[in-house]
Amino acid sequence: MLETNGCVSSRVSDPRRDEMKTPDDVSAMARLKGLGWGSKRIAAELGCSRNTVRRWLRFGDWRPCAAPSRSKRLDGLSDWLAERFRVHAGNADVIRQELAAEKAIQVSLRTVERAVAPLRRELVAAARATVRFETRPGEQLQIDFGERRVAIGGVQTKVFFFVATLGYSRRLHVRAFGHEKQDSWFAGMESAFAAFGGVPREVLLDNARALILHHDPSSREVVLHPRLHAFSRHWGFRVRACAPYRARTKGKDERGVGYVKKNAIAGRSFESWAAMEAHLEAWTREVADLRVHGTTGEAPRQRFDRDEAGALKPLSGIPPFTTTRDLVRGVGADCAVAVDGNAYSVPWRLIGERVRVTVGSEIVRVHHGGREVAVHAELKGRHGRVVDEGHLAGLVGTRERPAAVVALTPLPSVPALLRPLAEYEAVAGGAF
């Protein structure tokens, strides 16, 4: 049995492999063994396994295990390792490769990982750290979407909640939508501007695909969607996008979304979409605006009225930014087109045809052949259906509707027959 620095080198022969015992425990094992006790009885007496007793008795006496020998080949390279660790964002394998290429040092990946372990802890701590910053009144509005299934009319419906939070006063504005498309973002922002009575100097948002085309995490170059660029110019604010994978820089609104889910919506059901919207308005006015905020120590409405209302850019009669979506849809066998998960009827003779659908100002219009064939109010939520019974008129299997009274134009007068019908019957050989 080989021994190194007081420890058995063989893992199988090490009595401390299974269970570490104190010097007194090992001495007790030796005394009991001298009294003729067997290993099984000793194990029962000391509350350990039989194999543990056997291994310690075979080892002879207790001795501490020396610290394992570690490779010294990386001694003196701490500064170099720290610099490369930061450059390669904690990738130990790349550091191992550069050690071999630049320093001619061949070590295992595990050796490098042990060497940079303290640096990795610092990297994780830095990634988790969030520096709180306070914005000036009227400086920033943070916006985001959160989704939750809500019982509406007895049906579990996925609802997308738009939440806007003023950075200074922490005042909230909430809107419910059936989707998270670009026009929902625009409608949510416009409703927030109207609710707050002004426009902030900056809007902080996430890298939603409907708004941000590209955001390079290294250069921080941001490419806005052209319509968002036009929208921001229309209302006169600048756009700021969170760093990729760092949505916590939008922390005020992230907490606002969670607050809406856990306080305004949790455990509630609604008879209709309109009832849910009315509840959100009342909750914002009576609960969210009046609560004492944990960070500011004031009610958001009080802080807003005192410091922030006058700091927002006045609306000054700016008209809404017109958002109209132009879509192409096929007419299904149910005489309807699908838009955002809802069905809108069209004349049944268009089944199988391609039609153009425009959605804007909460109106859905359907065109075919350059002519408007259907107009419907836009539905909230999803899985809804709106049917104009006039679109089904004449379809087999539908209920007949009373025909409209039409004034008939009298036929032109027909000259009288020149001969009696009896003469024609005689020639033809009988009556018709």
Q: With CA atoms as reference, report the closest residue to 265 among 141, 379, 152.
A: 152
> In the prediction, which pLDDT does 382 show?
76
Q: Is the pLDDT score of 162 beyond 80?
A: yes
Total residues found in the chain within this entry: 432
**CB of 161 closer than 8 Å to CB of 265:** yes
Q: Is the pLDDT score of 302 beyond 90?
A: yes
> Half-sphere exposure of residue 368, counting CA atoms within 13 Å on the CB side?
18
> In the prediction, which pLDDT does 181 show?
85
The top-scoring range by mean pLDDT among 29-43, 72-86, 185-199, 213-227 is 185-199
Predicted TM-score of the model (pTM): 0.54
Q: Which residues pair with 165 in a beta bridge?
A: 142, 172
142 is written with which tokens?
A: 């943070």
> In the prediction, which pLDDT does 227 show?
87
The total of other beta-carbon atoms located within 10 Å of residue 343's CB is 18
> In the prediction, which pLDDT does 417 show?
47
Query: Token pair 């426009």 is at which residue?
Result: 199
Q: With CA atoms as reference, report the closest residue to 353 among 334, 371, 329.
A: 329
Q: Is the pLDDT score of 349 beyond 50?
A: yes
Least confident piece of the model among 2-6, 37-41, 119-123, 196-200: 2-6
> In the prediction, which pLDDT does 111 show?
87
Domains of the chain with CATH codes = 3-59 (1.10.10), 78-128 (no CATH), 140-311 (3.30.420.10), 323-432 (no CATH)
Q: How far apart are CA 165 and CA 295, in angstroms?
A: 14
Q: How far apart are CA 429 and CA 225, in angstroms?
A: 87
- What is the separation, in whole angstroms, between the first and last Cα of the chain? 129
Q: Is the pLDDT score of 16 beyond 60?
A: no
**CB of 102 closer than 8 Å to CB of 94:** no
DSSP 335: S
Distances (CA, A) of 256 to 177, 188, 204, 325: 17, 15, 14, 29
**CB of 326 closer than 8 Å to CB of 366:** no
The total of other beta-carbon atoms located within 10 Å of residue 10's CB is 11
